[in-house]
Amino acid sequence: MRTTGRAKPQNAKKTLIHLLKYLGRHKISVLCISVFVCISALSGIAGTYLLRPAINNYIIPGDIPGLVRMITVMGLVYLAGAISCLFYNRMMVHISQQVVGEIRMDLFRSTQKLPLKFFDTHTHGELMSHFTNDVDTISEALNNSFTLLIQSFITSVGTVVMLVILDVRLSLIVVFFLLVMIIYIRRNGRLSKKYFVQQQKNLGNMNGFVEEMVEGQKVEKIFRHEAQDFKQFCELNEKLRISSTMANTYTGITVPTVVSLSYINYAISACVGGLFALSGLINLGTLASYLVYVRQSAMPMNQFTNQVNFLMVAFASAEKIFQMMEVEPEEDQGIVTLSRVETGEDGTLTESDSYTGSFAWKVPDEKQGHRLIPLKGDVRFQNVVFGYNKDKNILNGISLYAKPGQKIAFVGSTGAGKTTIINLINRFYELNDGTITYDGINIRNIKKDDLRRSISLIVQDTHLFTGTIADNIRYGRLNATDEDVFEAAKIANADSFIRRLPNGYETWLESDGSNLSQGQRQLIAIARAAISQPPVLVMDEATSSIDTRTEKLIEKGMDALMKDRTVFVIAHRLSTVRNSDAILVLEQGKVIERGNHEELLEQQGKYYQLHMGQFELE
């Protein structure tokens, strides 16, 4: 008997309706499966009943030809059941995998549309469990439980009905023992569930601890924490062992106990039935069929209870998946799109189907249908108020501007709001108050895909995908040629080290580029941004993992790439912001100073203090 401690669904009816919608896409196949399951179950019931006429009408009278015919009929009945079983099993595997594949695709599609706030409040492990554990549970339920539930139900009901038809008096014995079995299974199921709940909790705690230790091996070794971590692991492992032992103990004794009860039921029914036969209250054929029904009555009942429990678990998994699908996607009411354009000799803009390197905002217009506004990279904040939660604002009425082609740097202490500004430019989060304009257009009116297509973001924690180095660079512009990839790598100063690798640009990266150094991964990320040739470039601690010499070479390449483009830079190393057109000093979500390097030093304010502190550190 399979048992689990996962919570039952809060709304099984709603979840069932949602699942039936997926199964409804395969109505004909599901109908055929149901018919085959019914034939398989009824063939077993009918085959057992045929023992009665076979014994009474042919064996006792000694009618051999008639017995052969009856055996032939019984063989055909059981053959029909076996063939039906083969068909519905093969069809169910096919349908279940199709349904699971559709659920997985819909889940991934909805995940891509979720706002970043959702990922901030849910762990990676929790989200991954939906794609793995929960989907696997649904798959197993569709593969096995769906058909077994129908078959067990038909067999259980059909067996009880046939027992009553054959002999009402003897059937009272069977009904009594079936009630005892049901009460025992329910009681034992509650106890095993209690310990399975503990097992799942302890398993989650242990897995989380192991994941942390694997990811933090360097820290563990540096601080010599192996002994203490091993002790903590042993404690978690012991709790898991105890709960697993208790859970599996109660689960393990269920089937043997039910089987023992069925043996007692069979023995009593056989003894009483034998006495009835000797007294002439029942004929031999009826008794034979009856005892076979008694023998097989416990198993479908046990299977049915088991499958109902497991289906509840599958519903709980499905409910979590469907709840995630129902989360409101990223709000996007934008109507302004980004178009490739060509500039005529007279300065007029026309849309182009090919890549030109020039873009314009396509703004709907009632009179002209639409108008094109050149994409320049003019970004302005007006009295922006924002907080990741309602209790605390990170930005408090901040106003700033970046003119096309300017390099704007943000400096300030941790938590001042530097990265938050970058997140808002990309519309990863929605403002509490105020406005942000991009080339004079409120970014709320720009479609998010088009807004983000105009911006390249380079962050400190570089993420590389499984694939070749060329594929990772081309991620910034999928239709880029090999020459474009090489040129972007040269701009990022990555070409030389890439060509020294054994397979050059075809070097395969796995595990987030673990076979490269942190600085090399950062260079590839910069090349990925360079290949997209964005009007706006955002660098959040982008060169923190790169030595000063390489950083200067990258800045030269970026200066050439970002000519007439807007650049936002967040850096703790003031050397990286020295040549910025404007440096904004942030404190508690407000701009307290603005100016270039020399102007801010003359003010002898916060920037001056940071600058002098850096020199003291150096």
CATH code for the domain in which residue 96 is found: 1.20.1560.10
pLDDT tier, 556 (very low <50, low <70, confident <90, very high otherwise): low
Q: Check whether residue 475 and residue 597 sit in a common domain.
A: yes
Asked if residue 332 is part of any domain, the answer here is no
3 state SS of 30: helix
* Same structural domain, 440 and 355: no
Residue 5 lies in a domain: no
275/414 same-domain check: no
Domain end marker among 289, 305, 325: 325
| pLDDT mean over 338-349 | 83
Q: Is residue 3 part of a domain?
A: no
Task: Identify whether residues 279 and 351 lie together within a single domain.
Answer: no
Domain residues for the domain of 370 are 337-374
CATH of the domain at 394: 3.40.50.300
Work out whether the CA dihedral 471, 125, 325, 32 comes out positive or negative: positive
Q: Is 540 in the same domain as 454?
A: yes
Separation between Cα atoms, residue 384 and residue 434, nearest integer Å: 4
State how far the Cα of 378 lies from the Cα of 373, in Å rounded to an integer.
12
Domain membership of residue 6 (yes or no) is: no
- The predicted pLDDT at position 8 comes to 59
| 428 belongs to a structural domain | yes
Q: Does 515 fall in a domain? A: yes
Q: Does 383 lie in the same domain as 402?
A: yes
Maximum average pLDDT range among 225-234, 292-301, 454-463: 225-234
Edge to edge, the sheet with strand 395-402 lists 395-402, 379-386, 433-438, 441-442
Question: What is the model's pLDDT at position 73?
Answer: 93
Inside any domain, residue 1: no
40 within a domain of the structure (yes/no): yes
Does pLDDT of 362 surpass 60?
yes
Asked whether residue 78 falls in the same domain as residue 227, the answer is yes
Distance from C-alpha of 521 to C-alpha of 393, rounded to nearest angstrom: 34
For residues 267 and 195, membership in a common domain is answered with: yes
Give residue 554's pLDDT: 63
Answer whether 107's CB lies under 8 Å from 420's CB. Answer: no
* Number of folded domains that form the chain: 3
Tokens of 559: 């200066």
What are the distances in angstroms from CA 73 to CA 48, 53, 467? 12, 12, 62
Confidence category of residue 478, pLDDT binned at 50, 70, 90: confident
The reply to whether 357 and 391 lie within a common domain is no
| C-alpha R_g of the chain | 36
Q: pLDDT, tens digit, for every residue of 414-441? A: 778 888 888 888 888 888 899 999 999 9
466 and 523 inside one domain: yes
One domain, residues 369 and 394:
no
Q: What is the pTM of this model?
A: 0.70
Give the pLDDT band (50/70/90) at residue 24: confident
Measure the CA–CA gap between 214 and 428, rounded to whole angstroms.
30
Closest CA to 134 of 310, 327, 314, 323: 314
Considering the domain architecture, whether residues 408 and 477 belong to the same structural domain is answered as yes
